Amino acid sequence: MTKIYNLEERTFKFAKNTRETLKQIPIKIIVLNDIKQVLRSSGSIGANYIEANESLSKKDFIMKIKICRKEAKESKYWFNLIIIHDYPGKQQLLELIDEADELTKIFGSILEKSKS
């Protein structure tokens, strides 16, 4: 997977790849809620990043970036719950888990730099 350094594009690609990967998973009651949750959290990362870039104050910016980090962590959690089942697309799920982890670190770094 090629790394994108524009975070708006990167978070959009993450949400898009999440949706494409989840299409491969047969919908069963055991995983339905996890899929719904990761759909929400994966899209929320980019939406909150866009809001952070349009924030009116530093405090608002920091809060939106905290939400981005939280949603990235949450996405990783839901992917980990989905991957314990033997579904198609396991490699793509592992890549999405890695990307969620990287996004968490990126937003954590932005937070540290914003506090100074």
In a domain, 1, yes or no: no
Between CA 107 and CA 33 the distance in angstroms is 26
- CATH code, 59: 1.20.1440.60
Average per-residue pLDDT for the chain: 93
Q: Which of 97, 70, 100 is nearest to 82 (CA)?
A: 97
Residue, of 108 and 88, whose pLDDT is higher: 108
Name the residue range of residue 25's domain.
7-114
pLDDT at residue 2, as a whole number:
55
Share of the chain above pLDDT 70, in %: 95
Which one-letter amino acid corresponds to residue 102?
E
pLDDT at residue 62, as a whole number:
97
Straight-line distance from the first to the last Cα atom of the chain, in angstroms, rounded to the nearest whole number? 33
Coil/strand/helix, residue 84: coil
Q: Model confidence at 4, in pLDDT bands (50, 70, 90)?
A: low
Q: Model confidence at 88, in pLDDT bands (50, 70, 90)?
A: confident
17-44 pLDDT, tens digit each = 999 999 999 888 989 999 999 999 999 9
In a domain, 79, yes or no: yes
Q: How many independent structural domains does the chain possess?
A: 1
pTM for the whole structure: 0.91
- Using the predicted structure, report yes or no on whether residue 78 has a pLDDT greater than 90: yes
In a domain, 2, yes or no: no
41-55 pLDDT, tens digit each = 999 999 999 999 999
